[in-house]
Amino acid sequence: MEIIIEQTRETPVGKSSVEIVERKGIGHPDTLCDGAAEELSKAFSKYYLEHFGRILHHNVDKCLLVGGCAEVSFGGGRVTVPMKLIMAGRATEYAGNSKIPLEEIAKETIYAWLRNRMRFLEPEKNVVIDMQTRTGSADLRATYDSTQLSANDTSVGVGFSPMTELESIVYSTEQFLNSAETKRNYPMVGEDIKIMGIRLNDQINLTIAIAFVARFISSKEEYLKIKRLLAEYIDAFIKKHTSKRITSVINAADDAERNIYYLTVTGTSAECGDDGQVGRGNRVNGLITPYRPMTMEATAGKNPVTHTGKLYNIAAHEISRELTQNADIHNAECYLVSQIGKPITEPQIVHIKIHSSITRESLEDICTNIAKKHLHLIPQLWESILEQRFTLF
C-alpha cells in the first residue's frame, strides 16, 4: 500500500470565482432508486445475519425506476399507469438447504420505505416492483467467502472536507424544504425537490424545482401566490446562513401563458415526468459537486462488507473530515483505489491532498496516522451502515 501526501497551493473551491453544486431531494426519481437499493441491501444483510450469523454475498445496486403516467390538474388527479422499480443485482438465494425469500423481502422492505418517505404515494397501488436479482458468479462469491475480507471490486473512493458555504446552503435548503416544519406550513410541497446552486463571486443563484401536490392548490392564482410566499420563506432561511446576495427561482419551467405548472398527484415527478436510476444522483456526502473530486461509483445497494465502491467512499470522507478538524488544515481531499481480491484494508494507493501551512514532515505523520486508523476500521463499517450512521446519497 502506497500513501502519498501532497501539499497543494491550489485556490480552495470556496474562494474561487465560480462554484456549482446540486442536490436531489428524497423524492427525486434518482434518489428513490438509491433509497430502494440501499434499503434492500440493509434488509438482505439483516436477514442473512439473523438466519445465518453473517452477511452473505449480495450487490443490489442496479435499480431502474420507469416513470408512470398521471392525470393531474388543480385540485387533484390520479396515477393512471403505475411506476415500475426494476431491482437488478446479485444476491445469495440459497444457503445450505434454505431458500431465501428475496422477492418477498424486497417488496415488504421497499413498500414500507416508500410509505415512510412519500406522504401521498400509495406504494402497493402506484409502484410495481420487478425483481431481477440473480445469484452471483462463482469467482466473486469465492472472493467474498475467503478467510480474509477481500475487495469485491477494483474501484475508487473519494472524499473531501470541509463543505463550502454554497455546498452547505444547497444541502441544508433541501433538508429544510423536506422537513416536518415546512410540510406543516406548506403541505403542497412534495418530496421531489432538486436544487442547483451557482455562486458567481459573492452572488448565489438557486434554481429550485418543487413537485407541488395538486390536491392542495385550487387554481393558478393560488399556485402563483404560493410560489411567491415560498420564495420569501426560502430566502429568509438561507439568509440565516450567508451574507452573500441570494436570488432564487422556483419551478423555472412554469409558463402561465401556456398554462404549464409543476403539479403532481404524489409529490414526485416519477409519476409521469421522469425516470430514475441508482448512481445518477447525490454522492456519498449528499451532493453533486462537479468542482470537487467525484467518482461514478454508486454507494447505494452495494454490500457493506467487501464492496469498496461503498466502503472506500465512506472511508475517504471520514479521513478528510478528521483531517480538517485540525485548525491548521484548511482543506483535505482523499482518494482510495482498491484492487479486487486484495485485503479491503490495503488499497493500492492512498492519495491525500492537503491545503495547510503545517510543515511537510508533521503533515505526513498526521495524514498517515489518520488514514491508517480509518483503513483499519473498514471491516467494522458494516455495523454503522446498517444503523444508518452515514449519509450515503
Nearest 5°: phi and psi at 278?
A: -60, 140
Three cell numbers, residue 234? 426560502
Please, what is the average pLDDT of the chain? 95
Mean per-residue pLDDT, 322-349: 96
H/E run at residue 139 = helix 138-144
User: What is the b/e burial string over 155-174, where b = at least 16 CB atoms within 10 angstroms of the residue's CB?
Assistant: bbbbbbbbbbbbbbbbbbbb
Are both 157 and 87 inside the same structural domain?
A: no
Given a cut of 80, is residue 182 above it in pLDDT? Answer: yes
Instruction: Select from 28, 10, 25 the least CA-distant residue to 292.
Output: 10
Domain containing 292 equals 2-12+153-163+283-386
Q: Is 147 a member of any domain?
A: no
Given a cut of 70, is residue 97 above it in pLDDT? Answer: yes
Mean per-residue pLDDT, 111-124: 97
CATH number at residue 302: 3.30.300.280
pLDDT band, residue 139 (cuts 50/70/90): confident
| Domain tally, the chain | 3
- Residue labelled with grid coordinates 425483481: 131
Given a cut of 90, is residue 138 above it in pLDDT? Answer: no
- Per-residue pLDDT tens digits for 52-70: 999 999 999 999 999 999 9
CATH number at residue 92: 3.30.300.10
- Per-residue pLDDT tens digits for 7-55: 998 899 999 999 999 999 999 999 999 999 999 999 999 999 999 999 9
Single residue among 277, 310, 340 that ends a domain in this structure: 277
Mean per-residue pLDDT, 184-193: 98
Given a cut of 80, is residue 253 above it in pLDDT? Answer: yes
Mean per-residue pLDDT, 74-78: 97
Q: Is 102 a member of any domain?
A: yes
pLDDT band, residue 146 (cuts 50/70/90): low
pLDDT band, residue 148 (cuts 50/70/90): confident
Are both 124 and 82 inside the same structural domain?
A: yes
Residue 325 contacts residue 355 (beta carbons within 8 Å): no
Are both 174 and 88 inside the same structural domain?
A: no
Q: Is 21 a member of any domain?
A: no
